[in-house]
Amino acid sequence: MTEMVPNPLRAALVEALKAVEPLIKEIDTAIDGPFQKFHSGKVWSGPTAKRFDVEFGQYRGRSRRAGEEVVADIRAFLARTPEQVTVEEAKAISSRYGLA
């Protein structure tokens, strides 16, 4: 029987998810605070401010969606990645992706 070992790609994906999720949350928080303050109408008012508010909201939404898509892509790839592979496969994966 072929010896099975932990898949190094799976470990790398788990680490990527651990690194990315807090960064995305940090970005959301960093954008959300100024957006809420600006959206309150107390920072700037008038027609130009209203246009800026709409654009700011669109950029905020794009940022949030992009972050969600990154996490979803990593999770989907992780779900398709086997936990165990043969020693030969592990070596090939490590070499292909530059993993230690």
User: In this predicted model, what pLDDT tens digit does every residue of 3-29 receive, in sequence order?
Assistant: 999 999 999 999 999 999 999 999 999
Q: How far is CA 67 from CA 24, 80, 87, in A?
A: 6, 20, 34
CB 87 within 8 A of CB 5: yes
Strands (E) across 37-83 are located at: none
- The predicted model scores a pTM of 0.84
Strand pairing category for 84-86 and 4-6: antiparallel
Number of domains in the chain: 1
Containing structural domain, residue 81: 4-97
**pLDDT tens track for 70-80:** 999 999 999 99
**pLDDT tens track for 28-56:** 999 999 999 988 888 888 999 999 999 99
SS3 42: coil
Predicted local confidence at residue 39, as pLDDT: 83
Strands (E) across 1-100 are located at: 4-6, 84-86
Predicted local confidence at residue 93, as pLDDT: 97
